[in-house]
Amino acid sequence: MNDEQLAVCEFCGQTFYSEAETAMERKKEALMKCKCDEAVRARKKLEYITKAKRELREVFRYDFFQESENAYGEMQEKIMEIISLILPYMVDFEVYGLTVSIPSLGKITLKVTSDGEIKIKRQIGATIEKKVSK
């Protein structure tokens, strides 16, 4: 077995046989397989961020203005991309809130509650609100 076939947990160093082609894929595979405490915490954090991104996408799904779908879709994707970069910091309690005001989309607010939930709210005329629980 050569190094190309090993997936190594970045936290504890445990190795797993892997058929993944890239080092990044092997790293992710090791994270998903390892049972060390740090890997379990990292998986939970990853699941929470994924869930938050899904809820963010759901909040963006509501269309409150009449512009071309292509312009809306491109702008929406870019804004979601930028907001998504903040989510890991919110999960780690390094950032507690973020508000973004966009003329055509309204105001989007993300806030970490005292019990660790992320509240996602979009306001323009009507308010759409989602909560993401750990």
Res 65 pLDDT > 50: no
Kindly state whether residue 45 falls inside one of the protein's structural domains: no
> How many domains is the chain built from?
2
123 in the same domain as 58? yes
* The pLDDT of residue 130: 74
Kindly state whether residue 8 falls inside one of the protein's structural domains: yes
Kindly state whether residue 119 falls inside one of the protein's structural domains: yes
- Listed in sequence order, the residues at least 6 apart from 78 whose beta carbon sits closer than 8 Å to its beta carbon are none
Rounded to whole angstroms, the Cα distance separating 32 from 30 reads 5
Kindly state whether residue 64 falls inside one of the protein's structural domains: yes
Beta bridge partners of 118: 112, 132
Higher model confidence: residue 92 or residue 4? 92
Supply the pTM of this predicted model.
0.75
Res 63 pLDDT > 70: no
The residue length of the chain stands at 134
Closest Cα to residue 60, out of 46, 48, 73, 49? 73
Supply the range of the domain harboring residue 31.
3-35
Average pLDDT value for the chain: 84
By CB atoms closer than 10 A (0-12, 13-18, 19+), residue 30 is: buried
